[in-house]
Structure 1
Amino acid sequence: MTLPSNHNDLNLKKAFEIILSIESFSDYINDIVELIYRDKISKANLEIILTEYGIENIVDIKEELLDLLIVYINLVLKDNVISENEKNNIDFLKLYFKIREGDFYNFRFDEIKDILNHQFTRLYADSFIDKNEALYSVDLQDLFDLSYDQFDEFKDKKVRSALESGANILNLDTAKYPKTSKKDFDNGNRHISQEVKDLVWNRDGGKCRECGSNINLEYDHIIPFSKGGANTYRNVQLLCQACNRKKSDKIG
């Protein structure tokens, strides 16, 4: 399923105008939404709101801010495209709200599961993930600060379903074979296709992911092939020969 090429970017002001009109939060969260809508968000202005409501630290209202971000992310995903501007806006808000890696996964697991399940239903409808869809999946992973294993956990059911329908694991943009399917699809072939190599080379900028060297580069399985790792874009990285030897057969 190919992603749409035309896209009207949802700017921050418009998005939070919509949020103000359709959502009702606590008074202090509504005040923060108003700040964003009026383009007045700053550490100083956030501190004024926190002080007014007797909140010592913004991390004390982290879960409510995660809910706010989820509302915004749902608006962004409505057209099934994530623009650079939208990604930057989400990163900007996560920075101001002190949202850390693991927060979405630990505090809003069910909400993230619902969002990603909806996205994966669409992406895996034809049991084939093309280049643009693979890049879109990376953006989805980044939105919620998920590790490879966490992201694959959310899409495991869709990948298994596609494999059971006869799909090729190389076309499903997964870092690892689903546990219940590996024995059926592991044919012992470590070969990485040229298409995957080209995608990895461009993503990694022709440099070792560990040290930045551009000498004696090798294509490495992030999750080792012997441990169920797939020959896919998501599970392959560039390492120089020295860094690859250090890694040996451990997961990078």
Structure 2
Amino acid sequence: MECALKIEQLYVSYLGNQVVKDISFSVERGSLVGIIGPNGAGKSSMMKAALNLISKDKGEIQIFGEPLRKWKKRIAYVPQRSDIDWDFPITVFDVVLLGTYPKLGLFKRPSKGDRQWAYECLKTVGMESFSNRQIGELSGGQQQRVFLARALAQNAELFFLDEPFVGIDVASEETIIHILRDLKKEGKTILVVHHDLSKAESYFDHLLLLNKNMIHYGASEEVLQPEVITKAYANQFSFLQPKGVNVTT
């Protein structure tokens, strides 16, 4: 299988403290990967460093065997909702239309076809009737759907989503995971920072377990075994059932 993402010996520091230590793993194309671990485990920092959104101490990132810069236009990133300025005066449709900009030439404006594609992406997430709303007027789940539509508009090969299921309604969560599964079927590669262990096995085919360093990477049922999962969460709980771990962090 083709390797979509390879991270080797990644180290990241924040305010003088090392938050990511010696992380190395590779993800095959067409994988849906959950990134799990306790609060402060470095999940978001690892993702941002992999995308060169924050500086790293050291480490090598390869996308489909090439440097990150060669694939930037084909990588979509959905940040945490807390990282977004929801008061910015922009409509839902224009947020999604921004997803078409990476492929445009300098000073070029989106074409009629680009605008139609943005609308189709809004329809995919069930938000077309909100296209003229200001983004800050929406609920958390609606906002997350819109930013997923922006990622879809990018026609990306590799998707990074940072805690997309936090603070959203059940219907939006079901819509988002359904779309992510469809993307996987199309051969896209998706990495998701996730916090709810009770849904991790049903949502993801692979899991990356972190607690600043990498505890384990592998098939979801393998990572969620008590003897593996407690290596990261030992200080937060002392008992796990072998299947269907029901813990939210």
Give the TM-score of the pair, scaled to structure 1. Answer: 0.32
Structure with greater proportional strand content = 2
The structure that has the greater radius of gyration is: 1
Larger RCO: 1 or 2 (CA < 8 Å, sep 6+): 2
Structure with greater proportional helix content = 1
